[in-house]
Amino acid sequence: MADDGASVQELIIKEEEKALLEECLRRIPEHYETVIRKSYEENKSCKEIALEENISVRTVETRLYRGKKILRKCFEELSKT
């Protein structure tokens, strides 16, 4: 019975975190959001994203790095409220 309670609580926490992540993705600049979504939601490689966006692989890598950094900060700020 305690396992059911823990799993429900974990599910609620995951849903809250997912909602926070979506909110943060809406707040970051579009060029970061695009590469992050293509990388994590569509499972595309940096090379595939670079070809689709007509940018270099290095630019994709930089946008992923910077975008994740901004997301982390946003996530931390929204988690406090």
Q: pLDDT over 90 for what percent of the chain?
A: 65
Task: Supply the pLDDT for residue 17.
Answer: 83
pLDDT in tens, 9-43: 888 878 888 888 899 999 999 999 999 999 999 99
Count CB atoms within 10 A of the CB of residue 23.
Answer: 12
**80 or 58, higher pLDDT:** 58
Q: Supply the angle between the helices 46-53 and 57-80 in degrees, to the nearest 10.
A: 100
Please check whether the domain covering 2-80 is classified as CATH 1.10.260.30.
no
- pLDDT > 70: what percent of the chain? 91
Q: Determine the average pLDDT of the residues in 56-69.
A: 97
Domain map of the chain by residue range? 2-80
pLDDT of residue 1: 45
